[in-house]
Amino acid sequence: MNKILIDLKNINKSFDGQMVLDDLNLYIRENEFLTLLGPSGCGKTTTLRILGGFEMPDTGKVIFDGADITKLPPNKRQLNTVFQKYALFTHMTIAENIAFGLRIKNKSKSYIDDKIKYALKLVNLEGYEKRMPDSLSGGQQQRIAIARAIVNEPKVLLLDEPLGALDLKLRQDMQYELIRLKNELGITFIYVTHDQEEALTMSDTIVVMNQGYIQQIGTPEKIYNEPENAFIADFIGDSNIISSTMIEDKLVDILGTRFPCVDTGFGCNKPVDVVIRPEDVILSDPDRGRINGVVTHLIFKGVHYEMEVMAAGYEWLVHSTSMFPVGTKVGINVDPFNIQIMNKPASEDEEAVGINE
């Protein structure tokens, strides 16, 4: 297990009396690809800016490699930030852009030249030294912004929605580039996005945020397969979230029908929320279904069909490689391992807050 490199302790931050981060605690390990994920206004970019030194917390500490850097200016921190707007200097060549930070540090010409070549090779843009930024595509400009950051040899690279301005194909290509860079460079990546697919694709660890609180921390698999509350289940991918009753351990009543499950410890006859992912709903002939319904909508998505099935008064979202035309009567089954049970929040406040680790 890698050592803890960054520790955010009891961070509070408000703007104009509005709380943006509420007693946030988070540690980040060395060589980790950690993603801060959440909707607009959840506090993820503010967290990144506090890490980078661009914002000061109202209270709390930022510990970096054992030292308190809370009041240290950005240029004194061993971190570099890549923003969504690439912030390249349009009047400078690519080489001059990459060398900018090194020149400020008074590095020698031979050192700078070597670093430029190294950085361009890393981002697969060798030979672009003399080009101007406006002659490059969006994806190429973003790679140059990353190259400019990594030549400074930061221990941590902060990335604030860096792929947001790219089209889908370029964005996917850059996701793989970032994973490769992280593995080759061996530095810590802290990544901010509201794109769930991006977070699931690239991260070692995902921190899901909402309304200034951390809702859940875990691996992409854990976050997707075992969401800790309805907000996470709804925000990460598509979900069927159904109010149900836990009859007893390993048995849940969903829409009036009993389903075996694997969860225990929720008590007897307790109200719960059930999460079933669309790809885990198994459609069959009506006589073989635990619940019967009718297909009401059908869309072809390329890798699968997306269907809506009205069954027991609930509109189920279903993803399947098999196609059932609109109007088809079907049976619904779910493997017990794919039924995720969650406690119902006691109040609306608890629903918003979730956990705060």
- The domain spans of the chain are 4-225, 230-353
Give the residue, 262 or 122, on which the prediction is more confident.
262
Q: What is the rounded average pLDDT of the residues 77-83? A: 85
Q: What is the rounded average pLDDT of the residues 244-252? A: 97
Q: Could you give the strand order of the β-sheet that contains 314-320, starting from the edge strand earlier in sequence?
A: 281-284, 329-334, 291-300, 305-311, 314-320
Q: How many CB atoms lie within 10 A of CB 314?
A: 15
Please give the mean pLDDT across all residues of the chain. 91
**pLDDT score of 186:** 86
Q: Which of 64-78, 145-159, 318-332 has the highest average model confidence (pLDDT)?
A: 318-332
Closest by CA to 26, choosing from 73, 74, 62, is 62
Q: In this structure, are strands 291-300 and 329-334 parallel, antiparallel, or unpaired?
A: antiparallel
- At residue 112, the 3 state secondary structure works out as helix
- What letter does residue 154 receive in the DSSP assignment? -
Q: Evaluate whether 285 touches 331 at the Cβ level (below 8 Å).
A: yes
Which stretch of 146-150, 254-258, 329-333 has the lowest confidence by average pLDDT? 146-150
Above 70 in pLDDT, residue 89? yes
**pLDDT score of 97:** 92
Architecture of domain 4-225: 3-Layer(aba) Sandwich (3.40)
Which stretch of 83-92, 139-148, 175-184, 304-313 has the lowest confidence by average pLDDT? 83-92
Above 50 in pLDDT, residue 340? yes
Token reading at 285: 């002939």
In whole angstroms, how large is the CA radius of gyration of the chain? 24
Percent of the chain with pLDDT over 90: 69
CA 126 to chain centre: 31
Number of alpha helices (DSSP H) and beta strands (DSSP E) in the chain: 9, 20
**pLDDT score of 344:** 85
Q: What is the pTM of this model?
A: 0.85
**How would you label 299-308 residue by residue, b for 16+ Cβ within 10 Å and e otherwise?**
eeeeebbebb
**pLDDT score of 182:** 86
**pLDDT score of 339:** 96
Give the residue, 83 or 19, on which the prediction is more confident.
19
Q: Is it true that domain 230-353 has CATH number 3.60.21.10?
A: no
Q: What is the rounded average pLDDT of the residues 161-189? A: 83
**pLDDT score of 232:** 93
Task: Report residue 352's pLDDT band, with 50, 70 and 90 as the boundaries.
Answer: very low
Token reading at 297: 């909508």
Integer Cα distance of 253 and 33 in angstroms:
39
**pLDDT score of 185:** 84
Integer Cα distance of 115 and 234 in angstroms:
45
Interacting residues of 121 by C-beta distance below 8 A, sequence separation 6+? none
**pLDDT score of 290:** 96
Strand partners, 243: 273
pLDDT, one tens digit per residue, over 309-320 is 999 999 999 999
